[in-house]
Structure 1
Amino acid sequence: MSTTEQRVAIVTGAARGIGAATAVRLAREGRAVAVLDLDEASCADTVKKITEAGGTAIAVGCDVSDAAQVETAVGRVAEELGAPVILVNNAGVLRDNLLFKMSDSDWDTVIGVHLRGAFLMSRACQKYMVDAAFGRIVNLSSSSALGNRGQLNYSAAKAGLQGFTKTLAIELGKFGVTANAVAPGFIATDMTAATAERVGMGFEDFQEAAASQIPVRRVGQPDDIANAIAFFAGDAAGFVSGQIMYVAGGPLN
């Protein structure tokens, strides 16, 4: 077994959608994967899919915006699987609204999960990466970082993650740790289904409308994002750091 096969990855928000697809993809490449989400029980399907295919995975419950829970969760992963040297900060929530309707809680919850969560998880994992002289941090940004009506909080969080990523790359590069971000466009997930419901559209119609504006004429799937994350998490990306990859089916204005 190579060192790559022995490496331990943590994927946050991995119970479903992009996170689940990423956990499965990394496991397929030989990583031992900690499938982390707010509710540990919700991770069971992802863990089962990995273990039934011969991989190694554990479910971990954690609120990534809570510092004590993060420290406990990362410590548990290190004890049960080994030092986590691959971190995918994917956990996210939506609290969409226009500015004049947005509550303090709407703002704080989204910033807390996306930005504070990525900060806490990265801080907790970096010591293991530095000790190993190897690390990969992949943050999930979004095309909404460029601005999107009704997503002031989400857009701010996703734009913030891009600056966060570039600064991590500068600070941690000398220790053999890279940091990059993947910025998805429209991906068919529970989250985009919730957006369709919010705007009063059926999800199929919502996807068709989105696909008509995408150069490749289809919406993205979770595996499309998992593919990009897997590249950044691998040995071949050792000279790639501080980059933002938009995976959106075409260029964005």
Structure 2
Amino acid sequence: MTKLMNKIAVVTGAAQGIGAKIVERLLEDGAKVVALDINFEKLEETISNLDKSGEKVFFMKCNVIDQAEVNDVFETVYDRLGRVDILINNAGITRDAFFHKMTHEQWSTVLDVNLNSIFFTCQAVIPAMRAQEYGKIVNISSTSSWGNMGQANYSASKAGVIGLTRTLAKENGIKNITVNAIAPGQIDTEMTKDLPENIKMMAQLLTPAGRMGKPSEVASVVSFLSSDDSSYVNGECICVSGGYLMP
């Protein structure tokens, strides 16, 4: 497939799970990809398996909660590749606890990684996207944005992602920039592997599909939103949850 031929994409949280599958899918679609993650060793391992030539994927360590570091990384991207056409904000963490036991560190760390990082990366690319009058931004939210026990921090951050997405869509649509979100449900990744079995079983029972999702199924929607097939889709949040959440 070549629907993203000659496009330059940046993916955060690219070392494993959904992020790695997004990189793989964008490569299949013909894009050149810049893969970012704070876990450089895992990132290097993942990318070496996806692109043995080293010509289609560039990877860099990036702490997405450090705005100065984010700006430096994107300056390098622009110097090396000239532009960014697609930005996929996938970096995310959990620090679960019931609210009455949640520490400020648990709260602020999740908000920093899941929401503030998107502020930093979008500020790094939107001025140039407006100048070139083209851009595709996809932000990974979650079905937890509708609320989930033990995840006040995570739910708040992912709800914030949707609000930010819709605002950026309204502000930049006139410049041929689309900004959309995806809300995955229970996806079989490293993040969900440590969940108690009874919690995973309950989620599957409540999901009409009767199973957990695969990272590749999220990546397929990213592919659509990153391409011109979605040219009139803007400000949307698409649930990829097997019917678990039907807003």
Query: Match of 1:118, SS?
Result: helix
**What's the C-alpha RMSD, in Å, of the aligned pairs?**
1.7
State whether residues 37 and 61 of structure 1, in contact with CA within 8 Å, keep that contact through their aligned partners in structure 2.
Answer: yes
> Which residue is equivalent to 2:172?
172
Query: What is the TM-score with the length of structure 1 in the denominator?
Result: 0.92
Query: What is the TM-score with the length of structure 2 in the denominator?
Result: 0.94
Are residues 1:212 and 2:205 paired? yes
Q: Distance in 2 between matches of 1:84 and 1:113?
A: 21
1:75-129 Cα distance to aligned partner (Å, 9 max, x none): 1122223311200011001110011111111011000011100110011011221
1:179-238 Cα distance to aligned partner (Å, 9 max, x none): 0000000001111123x1xxxx35xx6544432221011110100100111110001111
1:179 to 1:229, Cα distance in 2 relative to 1, 3 A: same
Once the two structures are superposed, the pairs formed by residues 1-253 of structure 1 within 5 Å of their partners are 4-52=4-52, 56-194=56-194, 196=195, 201-202=196-197, 207-250=200-243, 252=245
> Which shifted more, 118-127 or 44-53?
44-53
> Which shifted more, 31-40 or 75-84?
75-84
State whether residues 138 and 233 of structure 1, in contact with CA within 8 Å, keep that contact through their aligned partners in structure 2.
Answer: yes
Long gaps (5+) in structure 1: none
**Aligned-partner residue type, residue 231 of structure 2:** G
CA shift at 1:130, angstroms? 1.6
Query: Match of 1:249, SS?
Result: coil
**Aligned-partner residue type, residue 119 of structure 2:** F
**Aligned-partner residue type, residue 159 of structure 1:** A
1:64 to 1:179, Cα distance in 2 relative to 1, 3 A: same
Long gaps (5+) in structure 2: none
